[in-house]
Amino acid sequence: MNAEAGKSQIERDNFASRLGGNLEIAANALAQFFGKHHQHHRRQDYGAVDWSAVKYDFSGVDWSTVKYDLSDVNWATVFPEPAAAAATPIATAAASPAQTPQVQITAGNVQAQAATTFTTVVATPTTTANVKFNEAAISTTAPVVKSTSGKRGLGWDPTSPAYYASKLSGAVSWYFNWSPTPSAGMPSNWEFYANIWGANGIDKLADTLSGSPKLIGFNEPDSTTQSNIGVSEAISLYKQYLVPLKASGKVSQLGTPAVTNSWNAGQGLNYLSSFVSGCTNCNLDFAVVHWYSESLDDFKNFVTQAHQLTGLPVNVAEFAYTSWNSANEPNAAEVLNFMTSAIAWLDQQSFVSAYAWFGSMYVSEAKYPALGSANSLVSEGLDALTTLGKSYC
């Protein structure tokens, strides 16, 4: 026995004696084990211990004589550290999006295009993030998030050709196009949600609607770059034009205006709460929100608060992953990680009635600089789903 082993034995003997004579047999058994453990380190061999000799009945022990203060015991010698195990290589997981403070934004910058009665629009976020899409950065086998909830939908760019819509139809069950009239050539199993983008043409809406669709209200009225309608005016327009549409059966369900996720005064959930509380007897069916940022926790909290503040089911009619910071652009792996986690959560929430990823069209850096193609569900040539699209659709 070497000096170190002898020191360990002394420490163990002292330890056993201080626990009382009735523990002596147990201490000897432990000593046999620790001796073997000291020699073989990682091999825990109990085969040589005579456990039948160990006395388990301590009923006759005078515990008042047992000293419990073991502060001066050198535990490192009583329980020597085993040799370090060889490092085992592990796969490096894709980084999850960093938790960042909620960004104060006005999500969406819809550019109006001339129309006869209504304004046809294409939603365009306002910042200048230039996201570079790199399919090679993520697995070619997309983590498909199956949905049987019937909640999954799309914001369909009305200027997009309809021929590629069928590529997106797997798990998708509804769409809207920032317009009160459906787009031609859409899959027959997609439910159409009508949308009155702004106040323009609202007096002709009753003549334009067909099929008694669900109606999404004004597009981001809380943003000066969008429909830009104050709460009082929005309530007045609802009561004059939209509430009667539901009463007459021209629309089957009536949604609130679609607000941004800005935390500025009078925007986002503050606007939504004021509208719902002020629109008395409006018989609203669902709340509508948009969300563009990074944090999954912030997203969940935002959607949950929308429900709690209004008492209504929530339709997340637009959402996507963006940093709003050109110096910290999200990559394809981050977008995929966020989206798959977000839609799995949305499917599980009973208070979420519907949701739509913003990216059914090809999201180019030129047309959508705040998002970039990492948020695209389809390839640039509109001939295939991206890895993101395979997960969503």
Q: 29-59, pLDDT tens digit by residue? A: 444 444 433 333 333 344 454 545 544 454 5
Residues 20 and 152 in one domain: no
In a domain, residue 87? The reply is no
Q: What pLDDT, on a 0 to 100 scale, did the predictor assign at position 279?
A: 99
Tell me: pLDDT of 121 over 60.
no
Residues 15 and 123 in one domain: no
What value does the mean pLDDT take over residues 149-164? 91
Asked which of 139-148, 339-348, 364-373 is least confident by mean pLDDT, the reply is: 139-148
Q: How far is CA 325 from the centre of its chain?
A: 20
Tell me: pLDDT of 78 over 80.
no
Instruction: State how far the Cα of 359 lies from the Cα of 383, in Å rounded to an integer.
Output: 15
Cα-trace Rg, the chain: 32
183-207: pLDDT as tens digits? 999 999 999 999 999 999 999 999 9
Q: What pLDDT, on a 0 to 100 scale, did the predictor assign at position 29?
A: 42
In a domain, residue 142? The reply is yes
Bigger pLDDT: 109 vs 372: 372
Domain boundary among 78, 100, 132: 78
What value does the mean pLDDT take over residues 334-353? 98
Q: What pLDDT, on a 0 to 100 scale, did the predictor assign at position 144?
A: 54
Residues 340 and 228 in one domain: yes
> Tokens for 205?
């809406």
What value does the mean pLDDT take over residues 72-90? 46
In a domain, residue 83? The reply is no
Residues 330 and 215 in one domain: yes
> What total number of domains does the chain contain?
2
Q: What pLDDT, on a 0 to 100 scale, did the predictor assign at position 47?
A: 46
Residues 163 and 66 in one domain: no
In a domain, residue 337? The reply is yes
Q: Which CATH number belongs to the domain containing residue 223 in this structure?
A: 3.20.20.80
Residues 140 and 275 in one domain: yes
pLDDT band at 64, cuts 50/70/90? low
Which residue blocks in 223-330 are alpha helix, DSSP H?
Answer: 231-237, 243-248, 268-278, 296-310
In a domain, residue 102? The reply is no
What is the average pLDDT score of the chain? 75
Q: What pLDDT, on a 0 to 100 scale, did the predictor assign at position 112?
A: 34
Q: What pLDDT, on a 0 to 100 scale, did the predictor assign at position 72?
A: 56
Residues 163 and 40 in one domain: no
Bigger pLDDT: 148 vs 362: 362
In a domain, residue 47? The reply is yes
Residues 41 and 190 in one domain: no
Residue 336 C-beta-side C-alpha neighbours within 13 Å: 23
Residue 352's closest CA among 267, 291, 288? 288
Domain boundary among 56, 78, 100: 78
Instruction: State how far the Cα of 292 lies from the Cα of 322, in Å rounded to an integer.
Output: 6
Tell me: pLDDT of 155 over 60.
yes
> Tokens for 200?
């323009």
Residue 392 C-beta-side C-alpha neighbours within 13 Å: 32
Bigger pLDDT: 68 vs 232: 232
> Tokens for 376?
């695209």
Residues 153 and 253 in one domain: yes
Domain boundary among 32, 62, 78: 78
Q: Cβ–Cβ contacts within 10 Å for residue 54, how many?
A: 14
Instruction: State how far the Cα of 77 lies from the Cα of 8, in Å rounded to an integer.
Output: 5
pLDDT band at 219, cuts 50/70/90? very high
Residues 261 and 373 in one domain: yes
Residues spanned by the domain of 49: 3-78
Q: What pLDDT, on a 0 to 100 scale, did the predictor assign at position 175?
A: 97
Tell me: pLDDT of 265 over 50.
yes
Bigger pLDDT: 100 vs 313: 313
Asked which of 51-60, 253-262, 304-313, 317-326 is least confident by mean pLDDT, the reply is: 51-60
Residue 229 C-beta-side C-alpha neighbours within 13 Å: 24
Residues 170 and 40 in one domain: no
Tell me: pLDDT of 18 over 60.
no
Query: Phi and psi (nearest 5°) for 286?
Result: -155, 150
In a domain, residue 280? The reply is yes
Residues 292 and 238 in one domain: yes
Q: Which residues contact 220 (CB under 8 A, 6 or more apart)?
A: 106, 107, 108, 110, 226, 227, 257, 258, 259, 260, 290
Bigger pLDDT: 296 vs 365: 296
Asked which of 303-312, 340-349, 360-369 is least confident by mean pLDDT, the reply is: 360-369
Tell me: pLDDT of 60 over 70.
no
In a domain, residue 372? The reply is yes
Bigger pLDDT: 105 vs 286: 286
